[in-house]
Each structure stands twice: as C-alpha cells, then as structure tokens.
Chain A
Amino acid sequence: AQSVTQLDSHVSVSEGTPVLLRCNYSSSYSPSLFWYVQHPNKGLQLLLKYTSAATLVKGINGFEAEFKKSETSFHLTKPSAHMSDAAEYFCVVSDQWVGGGADGLTFGKGTHLIIQP
C-alpha cells in the first residue's frame, strides 16, 4: 500500500522569496513520485516527476524536487516565488511501473500556496 503526507495545508510566502512544500511518502515498492499543480478552475498539471533516475528533478516554471529515500521525502522547492505560482499543489505517488499496469495514483491532501505581494 502507498500513501502520501503533505505536511502543510497552507504555505504563505512573499514574492521573490523561496518556496518549500513538504511531502513524505510510503510505498511498498520503489515508487514513482510526482508533483501536480492546480490553478483555480483548471485541471491538474504535471510540474515534475521522479522515476528512479536522478534524485534531483527539475520541473517547469523553475520548480525542482529532491527524492530522499532515507527520509522518504520528496519536497518541492523554488528559489524565488512569483505571483503566478499561487495555486494548489499535490504530491502524488504511484507504484504503477512495478507491474506495468494501470494502477491509480495516490494523492496527498494538497498544499495551498499563497504569494504575498
């Protein structure tokens, strides 16, 4: 069984300051991990994914995340926040690559990122 814990339901930062959104996971296998973003009234957009290659993963819009197996973490960071980053962020885990099947994703509860001007 797999699960995801997003440690903060809301994070508020000032524009131009760093962003840190925290995520811990548990998985029976070697997981694939994703961060998705949801802007108001929009679908879920993939920011980045980890699939057992490099542990530091770079995504779109300047975001990156580091897979730390010893800490079972996959925190999302960005050096400098922009107003357009305000959205809901979801950490997601999947064991789907193990059997190559169509397993569903397991989502965290989401972190609402607020950017202060």
Chain B
Amino acid sequence: EPEVTQTPSHQVTQMGQEVILRCVPISNHLYFYWYRQILGQKVEFLVSFYNNEISEKSEIFDDQFSVERPDGSNFTLKIRSTKLEDSAMYFCASRPEGPYNEQFFGPGTRLTVL
C-alpha cells in the first residue's frame, strides 16, 4: 500500500540554523500539506500546495517558512532561521484530486531546536 514518507525522523539543530524537512507524497496525489504539532498541543495546519504553488497558508507560516516541490516527487519544508519555538513534530500529508478524499499522513519529523 502506498505511503507518505518523511526524512529524517528526528532532526536536531541549533537556533538560527536553516533546516529542510523532506517528504515524498503518494505518487498520484496532487495536493500536499504540512502540519506541525508542538508537544502537548494540537496538530496545526501550516500550508497547502497545489499545481506548484501555495494554495493556502496559516498565520503560523510566516516568512521564515517556505515550501518547494523541487523534482516532481519530493515536497520540502524549509525553515530559514530556526527558533526554539519551532521545536515540534512536523507532518506531511497528501491527497488525490476529487471530492471527499482524505489526506494521507506521513510518520512525521521531530524537530528539536537547541
């Protein structure tokens, strides 16, 4: 069964450093998403991506964040200058085109900013 995969599973970085989180969505899916979950809090929507551009973004997704689909299979989330409060679990999701289709989630990347 096809799955969304994410790498790395755990990333540790120093405050102020750039990080790139990688996702491989399911191959025939057309909508891509990033969510984050700070420890002890709810899962929050960050951004959606369709047709090679951002479709929607939340107020969390400020100028420090960017997304890219560099090669037709990967979908990346870049944080330019990490802050302590960026420490969280980051989930990638994808879904196919059409109504009533659910989002399929990856296992997540745990980002720890020191």
Q: Which of A43, A101, A110 contacts B106 (CB 8 A)?
A: A43
Partner of A49, one of B35, B46, B100: B100
Consensus secondary structure, chain B interface: strand
Q: Cβ of B56 and Cβ of A43 under 8 Å apart?
A: no
A106 lies within 8 A of chain B by Cβ: yes
| Residue numbers in A under 8 Å from B91 (CB-CB) | 43-44
When distances are taken between beta carbons in the complex, the residues of chain A under 8 Å from B46 are 104
Q: Does B99 lie within 8 Å of A102, measured CB to CB?
A: no
**B56/A109 in contact, CB under 8 A:** no
B12 to chain A, nearest CB (A): 17
Interface of A is mostly: loop
Are A103 and B56 closer than 8 Å at their CB atoms? yes
A89 close to B (CB within 8 Å): no
Task: Give every chain B residue within 8 A of A51 (Cβ-Cβ).
Answer: 99-100
Q: A25-55 vs B: 1/0 string, CB under 8 Å? A: 0000000101010000111111001010000
Interface residues of B in 24-83 (CB under 8 A from A): 31, 33, 35, 41-50, 55-56, 58
Q: Interface residues, chain A, CB within 8 Å of chain B?
A: 32, 34, 36, 41-46, 49, 51, 90, 97, 100-110
Query: What are 20 A-B residue pairs whose CB atoms fall within 8 Å in the complex?
Result: A32-B100, A34-B102, A41-B107, A42-B107, A43-B105, A43-B106, A44-B43, A45-B105, A51-B100, A104-B33, A104-B48, A104-B56, A105-B43, A105-B45, A106-B45, A107-B35, A107-B42, A109-B42, A110-B42, A110-B43
Task: Enumerate the 6 nearest inter-chain pairs by beta-carbon distance, A residue then B residue, closest first.
Answer: A104-B45, A102-B55, A44-B105, A102-B48, A107-B43, A43-B107
